[in-house]
Amino acid sequence: MSLLAAVLLSAACDARVPLPEGDAFVRSLAAAQRRREEALSLYTYDVSEAREQLARDGRVRRRETRSFEVFHVKGRPVRRLVARDGRPLEGRQREREERRARELAEGLRSGKAVSEEAGLRLSRILERYHFVARGREEVEGRCAVVFDFTARPGDFDLERDALLRHLAGRLWVDEEERAVALVEVHNTSPLRVALGIGATVSAVTFRAEFRRLEAGVWLPRALEAAADGKKLLFRVFRVRTTTTYENYRRFEVEVQENVRP
């Protein structure tokens, strides 16, 4: 048997193996998932962000892009804008952005600032949902267990729980390393979430892909979010944001503090 055939055979999903119990299996992932999310702070990387306004038929009406370099200070991300719509920042724009990123980094080191990137972590919300194993699928040559999930009844002490209770979706978990490889989310009822004066969201979809850099290390590959809604009661809007993560580099720094008497 060739090496390629052996690799493919080992990666294939075995339908004879019983599926795990959904809630127990997924709940057991929380601690490892939290460690993988924290491992992101050990890397610097590049982020490309595209924001699109869509027509009713899905055509792109307007597209804006931004590119960032990201590093971490005390585990919190600092994003430095380096290009807008494919054009590198120059002159005063570049100076202002570098000064802003530098001041934010200094604030994080001193404890006087918070990260510019707040958000929900997947590890925090696993208990919010009920999971049912549906089968196995191969994701990039590796076997993943597929789970459908729906919101559990009741209130949970989570940020944006009013939104989370209206979501459902599908989760792919790498079976060998028990790591989240892919997640897709959609709303199950109108959200009526205010985005500003006279704006509400009626439909939301979200997709997150993760890549395996090495054994046990899974980091974001791409995030895509889309929303439909109305402004001022009558004007319909459709937006889509795609974020890609590339060029991961291990980031290590030694800090030495000298205390003068």
- The pLDDT score that the predictor gives to residue 194 is 56
Residue showing tokens 């080992």: 10
Of 225, 153, 152, 165, the C-alpha closest to 191 is: 165
What pLDDT, in 10s, does the model give residues 223-249? 999 988 877 666 778 899 999 999 999
Give the global pTM.
0.83
- The pLDDT score that the predictor gives to residue 255 is 39
Dihedral sign, Cα of residue 19, residue 23, residue 27, residue 28: negative
DSSP characters over the chain? --HHHHHHHHHS--TTSPPPPHHHHHHTTHHHHHHHHHHGGGEEEEEEEEEEEE-TTS-EEEEEEEEEEEEEETTEEEEEEEEETTEE--HHHHHHHHHHHHHHHHHHHHTS---S-----HHHHGGGEEEEEEEEEEETTEEEEEEEEEEPSS--SSTTHHHHTTEEEEEEEETTTTEEEEEEEEESS---EEEETTEEEEEEEEEEEEEEEETTEEEEEEEEEEEEEEETTTEEEEEEEEEEEEEEEE-----------
The radius of gyration computed from the CA coordinates of the chain, to the nearest angstrom, equals: 21
Question: Given the DSSP bridges, would you call strands 129-139 and 87-88 parallel, antiparallel or unpaired?
Answer: unpaired
What pLDDT, in 10s, does the model give residues 54-64? 888 888 999 99
Per-residue pLDDT in tens (0 to 9) along the chain, 261 residues: 343 433 343 457 888 899 999 999 999 998 888 888 888 889 999 999 999 998 888 889 999 999 999 999 888 899 999 999 999 999 999 999 999 999 999 998 887 755 555 456 788 888 899 999 999 999 999 999 999 999 999 999 888 888 899 999 999 999 999 999 999 999 998 776 555 555 677 888 999 999 998 888 999 999 999 988 877 666 778 899 999 999 999 876 543 333 343
How is residue 104 written in tokens?
């934010």
Dihedral sign, Cα of residue 144, residue 150, residue 156, residue 160: positive
- The pLDDT score that the predictor gives to residue 142 is 94
